[in-house]
A and B are shown apart, each in its own frame.
Chain A
Amino acid sequence: MDPETFRRDLGAWLDANADELTPPYDGIASMNEQMAHYSLVKRALYDARFGRYGWPESVGGLGGSPLLRAIVGEEINFRGLADPNAWTMIEVLAPTVIELASPELSARLVPPFLRGDEMWCQGFSEPDAGSDLASLSCRAVKTDGGWVVSGQKVWTSFIQYSQRCVLLTRTGEPDSAHRGITALLVDVDSPGITYSPIETMHGRLDFAEVHYDEVFVPADRLIGEENGGWQVAMDILPYERSTTFWHRGALLHRRFSDLVAQLSDSGDLSELTAKTVGEVFLSLVAFRSRSRDTQYRLANGQQLGVETSIDKILITSAEQQLFEAVRDLLPGVVEFDEDPEATMWRTHYLYSKAASIYGGTAEIQRNIVARRLLDLGPES
């Protein structure tokens, strides 16, 4: 199916079902409300078939280009129908699991994720392994019929809503770095898993600290090869930076449109306002153009890799520029106002501060560009 026809059909269906799909809340809702609505939208898209395109038939999809998944998320975000962060998880985790886990495992576990009936989370970072992910120490020891996992993870988003977790564990020697890591697909309700939410500065329980205390994981939950977990992580990264970035870019575009509409109503055509608005737009378009290329490379079966750090740097600066512009051009709204719209701006403004930290900090991205794309040799 060609992207344009798909977008048109999808748009018509979204418009026709706007009553059901529009969130029952104004501005920013609680996480419970957001997750409930995310599931509803995901399920409705699945039932209407739009949510199944771009996924292989083996997991309940209808096949077709991953571009179609990019378009679904774009239209959802342009219309503000569901939380983009929740949506991120399936786009980040499912493609790699489908590719690298056993076909039986993904055929069994991915479909409920695709339908919005289930949620997954990602157990990568640890208190002592953030930017330096390869130094992680959460241990998995081979036992009869599987592994026993013990250790600690941090920044695990959505675990309180999740049934499964893609977990990176240490299976080699403690100093085996990226060579001794194994990826496992773990049931969150397994005995021995406990978690405590971490409250963010924008007042949400987005993620948690998770303890694994002798958690048994069956052998068939292996993703990729034993000690091949680094490959799994590297495989996930480009997905994190292709489809989901396209979705997030659409959300930023929508919020920028909201800002422009509001400024336009106020009749402010001053040089300073025009300059700020123009610069934000330029950054959004720069990202969108780059990301479009990335979507096509993914759709054409090209291997995405370290060059997606460029996409990450572009979307991060666009996002932070946008919400700084909101603060500059709607003075006092972020700091003082209380209506739902102001809450929305405040939440976005504060959350945008995380953009240069999560998924590899801004500095790590520049290190990657310097080392891998500019071939500048080792750092001192």
Chain B
Amino acid sequence: MSEFLDAEDAALLGASLAAAMLAAPGPDEADQALNDMGWPDLLAAAPDHGAAIAFTALGTTGSAATLLDDVVAHALGIPISPSVCVLFDASLHTNPAAPQPGDPRNLIEDNPYVLNGLVSSRIDRATTVLIAVDEFPGTEVAAVEAGLLREPGATGIDPDRAYRHLSAQVPADAVTPVEAEGSWEAAMTAARIALAYQLIGGARWMLAEARQHAMDRVQFGRPVASFQAIRHKLAESLVLIEAAESLAAECLRDPDPMKAALAKSLAGKAALTTATHAQQVLAGIGFTAEHRFHLWLKRMLVLDTLFGSARYLSTEIGRDLLIYGTVPRLIQL
């Protein structure tokens, strides 16, 4: 964080953002509180570093604040606003009416536009949804009126309905091109780095819960933390989390689309692995609705699908390597 804030200031900022998130009962209130605290200025001044701090806080607090819409809009060079939300790429199963997984951008010949992706809960109050449209050459950004896309019934697994699957068709005349300075690729890179931090924050929360439980829970006359099988699960979680954090920080130093995709993939792997291990360590209580663990598990599943799941991204990068036949060093001293 040295180019932007020193470690101590970054930690203080992260703590105050987290406190604001925890004090806000829902996404609207959280968005409002973060706006009041200067989130738009933070994003403008230091898009990557600022998002890293804020998204880590989202992960550790479990907040459903809709900051991802702002990160994408900002990277596209479109003014951020609570009335603007984004149709996010996601790893979704294919149905005959939908485009391929991970790619909701699809222009069907003639009418209508087929939209398939995820939206945040901001769609409930937004007026505009930004979508990416495949044009030749490249991808362009367009806007659709949010009212056309609201599906009040949509639920999904997310505990706060923070992200929902949107699959819709809209007539071509409802899609308006938008002047965007930034590319969709740049927006995906920014989003993936931010999401990597949120996944890492969430993984750290789950690991801390599992660790504390292991220390407190006594069986056979000793804390279960003293058993090697438990210790190794927690150790493996920490190893993945630290690796993911390192790669995410590398993205802040020297952003690059492939690096960001790998960082998102590794953070997803760290979060999902930690969820599995933490649940096993928490055992019975971790399967109840009473313990908050399940909220994180569900959020992590959703975050993993956004802008490409851990598995999808690493497979796509594997395919790229096979196509080009060479392997970049990617990270240098």
Contact = CB atoms under 8 A, between A and B. Distances in A.
A274 B322 contact: yes
B239 interface: yes
Given A285-B262, A289-B243, A310-B243, A269 B234 contact: no
A277 B322 contact: yes
A293 B249 CA distance: 10
A265 interface: yes
Interface stretch (B116-124, B136-144, B183-191, B313-321): B313-321
A366 interface: yes
B179 interface: no
A286 interface: yes
B243 A274 contact: no
B318 A376 contact: no
Nearest to B321: A260
B329 A374 contact: no
Given A380-B222, A380-B226, A290 B243 contact: yes
B231 A292 contact: no
A292 B331 contact: yes
**A contacts with B: majority SS:** helix
B135 interface: no
Given A286-B247, A370-B232, A376-B225, A257 B211 contact: no
Contacts of A253: 327, 329
A313 B239 contact: yes
A312 B323 CA distance: 31
A290 B242 contact: yes
A33 interface: no
Nearest to B311: A275
A292 B254 CA distance: 13
Interface residues of B, number: 49
B314 A370 contact: no
Given A3-B333, A376-B225, A377-B226, A268 B214 contact: no
A195 interface: no
B321 A281 contact: yes
A315 to B, nearest CB: 11
B238 to A, nearest CB: 6
A282 B225 contact: no
A379 B225 CA distance: 8
A367 B229 CA distance: 10
7 contacts: A78-B329, A264-B325, A274-B322, A288-B331, A365-B235, A373-B235, A374-B235
Closest 3 CB pairs of A and B: A278-B318, A264-B325, A370-B231
